[in-house]
Structure 1
């Protein structure tokens, strides 16, 4: 409260009034042909398909270079993350820049959601995050008025926000127009440090200047490093234990490989399907990889993160299940998506359409809380006979209520950790 909230409100008023035009629906046309998966100059250059077989969903113990301080310690401390190295903080940050939504979700999980001053497409991500938080007593996220960094990715924008820390990968930043390492150093020196890791999302190669010592992290490892910035190691460990328990439940009950359905993760738009892999490395797949469904396009090698196929190619693959990415966001109407499929001469013959197994999915930019819900959601959509029926999702609704005996993780346990009860 006080000066901190006054500065935040002032910053929001200043930039929401002068922000550039939103990228619009093209952002999500497959996640979107755009920027929404890789706003690296709105191209997919430099993002080859990952081939590292390492499992990204498996949590690992905290790294030895991470702080063990608790939230009661508010003085100087350090946190470490590749590619930035060790970063010193005088105190816990109170005004925080985030680009991608996984970082905003991490801050909410750590009890610091009110520190966020910016976020990628807040009017899409904010309501979606709150769809999940609705099922956690006392947890919510105030996203209205947050600015979208992608509207004005300039040094002046960063100066105006006056952030204590920027959850942004400098290796990604230098791929943007009019940005260089010297610009990153200038903002670090005059505003606040960078602290982010983008290329772990897909295990893609970082820019050559950062390639030598670039380290890849799982989603939950990255979350642990962010927790160190806020001296929230205990809260992180407790949430990580929930995640470990969820994975254990999934792994114990997962059917044999020959009994698993074929599936695709797609976004439908303009007569084609933007297609994504299910089981490759990278934390953008942290909600589908643990379920190990048979990827109907698993053998496809695309130039970038995604590919696109027409109805005929989709019919040849004929997956048992269609997982529609971004279906739970305000940008897509799943009733309309299903109607497009049913009204198409080829689409109506797809097994997933005939068997009513076209499901709304969430966001690839997921932090830890979102990841818990999205793993549970995907488990029920793929294996209803094992993990319980998915209740369905209606446009604009919150994450559906699921009876306690059918939940795959304890909502009260998560809510108590996040709220500090």
Structure 2
């Protein structure tokens, strides 16, 4: 059992949850401080990649045995995840505070998206997620107007009174106005924290949290969040789709010498381009690492660093995956045109070969991960997985049944609890 935040013998939390049954169902901006490249700032970076206890599997398939308790209606239970340790619940949470969208996306995947009352840049990311809901029958999502929680205030958390905070207390602690006493106060008086942010790129957490930190794969973390909401059946159904998609990809990858060099970036500001490595460990590459592309940048550039357009040309990737390119506020046609018109950018192999592609969000939840695995497979290996249509905006393209790499209806059924 991991160390608890308070150091007390038992789990510390307000006995707060309303009794409830088990849930089965339920403008193009420059990236900064680890942002999505084409979206709002999406994380606070405290260090480069590191190795802490725990590691992420290559394909992010979670097949670990878990000793966490599950619950029936009215029973208390606990779920364990770093850096919180063991977290106790009296009943399944109803209202949900989130900060980063990988955790909001997990709530969405379990049919609880509309129970979220806070998240980072809700209008922006709500727009991104709703580029995918049209491909999922009966699935709807509305995050407009929620509290934007990138820098949450303690007073607002009291006001929201969420039943669970799907947020990493270590990353909230990293904000200037938060101390360890504040983290514990919210746990005691409002509801527990349950989240992990530094698994994104295996960054170093604040030193006060380093000895209790561990990194998780996206689907490994999702399994634990599903336990919080007593939604094993939904998790199992989606994990099966995910495993099948990974099998499809792995079975038809081309030889290494036929794979393109790739970078995740949105080159809208030619002086400051945030670049993300596609095989770097972490949840941000859950949709690229299984495809085993070639890194465009060497060891002298870390994931999340910035380069100018000359630096991007020096790496000269075969493919550029445009972070945030599917956001409704992004004009991908204009992005491509600006690259073609610039005397330096126009020399990029990706530009000359028309291989600058729109992507959705790096802080992806499970559903976006499925779609991004499919789209990236087509973008990198069209001869193996089918051509990716030219994307100029709007919802995720409606691919013919024979060109889809996973079952949309099965995913929609799982989200809607129709199992």
Give TM-score, length-normalised by structure 2.
Answer: 0.88
Q: Which residue matches 2:336?
A: 338
Q: Which residue matches 2:300?
A: 300
| Residue pair 2:28, 2:329 contacting (<8 A) in 1 also | no
Q: Which residue matches 2:178?
A: 179
| Residue pair 1:263, 1:294 contacting (<8 A) in 2 also | yes
How far did residue 109 of structure 1 move?
1.1
| Residue pair 1:94, 1:115 contacting (<8 A) in 2 also | yes
Q: Distance in 1 between matches of 2:392 and 2:28?
A: 23
| Residue pair 2:37, 2:324 contacting (<8 A) in 1 also | no
Q: Distance in 2 between matches of 1:34 and 1:367?
A: 16
Q: Distance in 1 between matches of 2:200 and 2:377?
A: 21
Q: Which residue matches 1:402?
A: 399
| Residue pair 2:38, 2:330 contacting (<8 A) in 1 also | no
Say whether residues 1:261 and 2:265 are aligned partners: no
Please list the CA deviations of residues 303-334 of structure 1 after superposition, one character each: whole Å capped at 9, or x if unmatched: xx412222223223222111111101134211
Q: Distance in 2 between matches of 1:27 and 1:276?
A: 11
RMSD: 2.2
Q: Which residue matches 1:414?
A: 411
Instruction: Give the helix-richer structure, 1 or 2.
Output: 1
- Range moving further from structure 2, 382-391 or 203-212: 203-212
**Cα distance change of structure 1 residues 311 and 328 upon mapping to structure 2, 3 Å threshold:** same
Structure 2 unaligned spans of 5+? 1-17, 19-26
Q: Which residue matches 2:142?
A: 142
How far did residue 163 of structure 1 move?
0.7
Q: Secondary structure at the match of 1:250?
A: helix
How far did residue 410 of structure 1 move?
0.6
Q: Which residue matches 1:209?
A: 208
How far did residue 235 of structure 1 move?
1.1
- Where does 1:310-321 land on structure 2 (aligned, <5 Å)? 310-321=308-319
**Cα distance change of structure 1 residues 374 and 308 upon mapping to structure 2, 3 Å threshold:** same
How far did residue 107 of structure 1 move?
1.1
Q: Which residue matches 1:196?
A: 195
- Where does 1:63-102 land on structure 2 (aligned, <5 Å)? 63-69=65-71, 73-102=73-102
- Range moving further from structure 2, 47-56 or 345-354: 47-56
Please list the CA deviations of residues 94-121 of structure 1 after superposition, one character each: whole Å capped at 9, or x if unmatched: 1110001111211121121221001110
Q: Distance in 2 between matches of 1:226 and 1:262?
A: 34
- Where does 1:323-362 land on structure 2 (aligned, <5 Å)? 323-362=321-360
Please list the CA deviations of residues 185-206 of structure 1 after superposition, one character each: whole Å capped at 9, or x if unmatched: 0011111111111111111121
- Range moving further from structure 2, 51-60 or 24-33: 24-33
Q: Which residue matches 2:36?
A: 31
Q: Secondary structure at the match of 1:415?
A: helix
| Residue pair 1:56, 1:219 contacting (<8 A) in 2 also | no
Q: Distance in 2 between matches of 1:158 and 1:172?
A: 15
**Cα distance change of structure 1 residues 33 and 171 upon mapping to structure 2, 3 Å threshold:** farther
Say whether residues 1:291 and 2:295 are aligned partners: no
How far did residue 79 of structure 1 move?
1.4
Q: Distance in 1 between matches of 2:240 and 2:379?
A: 24
Q: Which runs of 4+ in 1 moved over 4 A?
A: 26-30, 32-35, 50-54
Structure 1 unaligned spans of 5+? 5-22
Please list the CA deviations of residues 10-49 of structure 1 after superposition, one character each: whole Å capped at 9, or x if unmatched: xxxxxxxxxxxxx9935569635997232x3xxx3x2213
**Cα distance change of structure 1 residues 26 and 389 upon mapping to structure 2, 3 Å threshold:** closer
Q: Which residue matches 2:242?
A: 243
How far did residue 60 of structure 1 move?
2.1
How far did residue 63 of structure 1 move?
3.5
Q: Distance in 2 between matches of 1:298 and 1:237?
A: 38
How far did residue 54 of structure 1 move?
4.9
Q: Distance in 2 between matches of 1:116 and 1:360?
A: 27
| Residue pair 2:30, 2:269 contacting (<8 A) in 1 also | no
| Residue pair 1:392, 1:400 contacting (<8 A) in 2 also | no
| Residue pair 1:297, 1:317 contacting (<8 A) in 2 also | yes
| Residue pair 1:199, 1:216 contacting (<8 A) in 2 also | yes
Q: Distance in 1 between matches of 2:28 and 2:311?
A: 28
- Range moving further from structure 2, 54-63 or 334-343: 54-63
